[in-house]
Amino acid sequence: MRMPLMVLLFAGALAAQLAPGNWKTDLSKKSIDLGELKSGGPPKDGIPAIDRPRFDTVDEAARWLHPREPIMVVNLHGEARAYPLQVLTWHELVNDQIGDTPLLASFCPLCNSAIVFDRRLDGTVYDFGVSGMLRHSDMVMYDRQTDSLWQQITGEAIVGELTGKTLTILPSQTVSFETFAAGYPQGKVLNRDTGHMRPYGQNPYERYEFNPRLVAPIGRVELPANVRPMERLVTITIGDRTRAYTFHYVRSRKVVEDSFQDIDLVIFYDKNTLSALDSKQIKESQSVGSVGVFCALVDGNRLRFRHRKDGIEDKQTKSRWNVLGVATEGPLKGKRLKPVDHGVYFAFAWLVFRPETRVIGDSGLRPGTDPFLSGPQPQ
């Protein structure tokens, strides 16, 4: 049987990427069909990870970051760091360390998956690079010690010596730069002195977030009724159970209270964060907003929250809260809600890996108004 030309081209490209001399990956160990790996275009390390990150103060970063630009925030050992998506879009991985915790800041633009991992595994610290391959449109990383391949959105090794191992996810949150600056005035911001020449501030995936067509192929995914593939989902995983809320659902309410796996949750929404995947210049992109997910307990007491015209307040003390989960005014000023690990991903990206997820809400669109909702599902 004659194979389609594109299949032959892909097979050749993948074989070249995994050829001896380029890779030492043990292909006898795998948890996936190797045919699911697709060439993303660049070769191994064609998208260079940042290995020696340098940081600006908040005031220094304000000279080049728009106040509403999206940044990924990590707060460990009393130190807050921000990783602007305008830098991560061009590098995707940052091998960093805060205190005694070696971490990996990662961002896959195609899935809108900004995730931070602990780089330690069974007593070994691993360094990571970008493989140049995709699986279901999600970045495939590799570790430089064994050349095992890792799925970014799950943190799981899928091919190679470490197959089956999973990295620990560290709490993080994507918010606007101005939110970070106000909440962490002594924080540090990854700067653009990366050792590479890139047009930082420009988005190489122009109009991607609001485009009705995906750039890379994915496996078959069952989308809930009236949820578009590029709808952002707020996902929460506790144990082996997952739950997700559409951004439209959270945006329309501003505050969402729920109980999941015996945890009383609250989700805060803030409108003042731009998309990193819309306009050519990120600072000119549409606002998509940002969220924080927290345990709704303070000093052992359950708080109930509501949205007011000028912000979020708790009903018991009428203290004001920001999207970082910090009380900024009122009797509880200075109190901080405990963050709940969560992610914000495009719906297609999350559901192709976790199809059992219960999704609450929809995209707020009438059938027939979005090309994806009226046409066949992506495959």
Could you report the per-residue pLDDT of 179-212, keeping only the tens digit for each? 999 999 999 999 999 999 999 999 999 999 988 7
Length of the chain counted residue by residue: 379
Query: Percentage helix, strand, coil, to 5, in the chain?
Result: 15, 40, 50
Euclidean distance between CA atoms 199 and 170, whole angstroms? 29
C-alpha 69, offset from chain centre: 15
- What is the domain partition of the chain in residue ranges? 42-190, 232-374
Euclidean distance between CA atoms 145 and 119, whole angstroms? 12
Q: Residue 316, class by beta-carbon neighbours within 10 Å (0-12 exposed, 13-18 middle, 19+ buried)?
A: middle
Domain 232-374: give its CATH architecture. 3-layer Sandwich (2.102)
pTM of the model: 0.90
Could you report the per-residue pLDDT of 345-363, keeping only the tens digit for each? 999 999 999 999 999 998 8
Euclidean distance between CA atoms 337 and 257, whole angstroms? 14
Q: How far is CA 103 from CA 43, 172, 236, in A?
A: 24, 11, 21
User: How crowded is the C-beta side of 116, counted as CA atoms within 13 Å?
Assistant: 23
Phi, psi of 30 (to 5 degrees): -160, 155
Question: What are the pLDDT tens digits along the chain (379 aa)?
Answer: 333 333 333 445 565 567 666 899 999 999 999 999 998 889 999 999 999 999 999 999 999 999 999 999 999 999 999 999 999 999 999 999 999 999 999 999 999 999 999 999 999 999 999 999 999 999 999 999 999 999 999 999 999 999 999 999 999 999 999 999 999 999 999 999 999 999 999 999 999 998 876 666 677 788 888 899 999 999 999 988 999 999 999 999 999 999 999 999 999 999 999 999 999 999 999 999 999 999 999 999 999 999 998 889 999 999 999 999 999 999 999 999 999 999 999 999 999 999 999 999 988 876 555 544 433 333 3
Model pLDDT, residue 94: 98
Q: How far is CA 151 from CA 93, 100, 133, 136, in A?
A: 13, 25, 10, 10
Q: How far is CA 164 from CA 155, 260, 376, 379, in A?
A: 10, 27, 33, 26
Q: How far is CA 255 from CA 75, 250, 292, in A?
A: 23, 7, 10
Model pLDDT, residue 5: 33
Cβ neighbours of 156 (radius 10 Å): 18
DSSP letters of 237-277? EETTEEEEEEHHHHHHHSEEEEEETTEEEEEEEES--B-SS
For CA atoms 347, 351, 357, 358, give the dihedral sign: positive
For CA atoms 78, 64, 119, 236, give the dihedral sign: positive
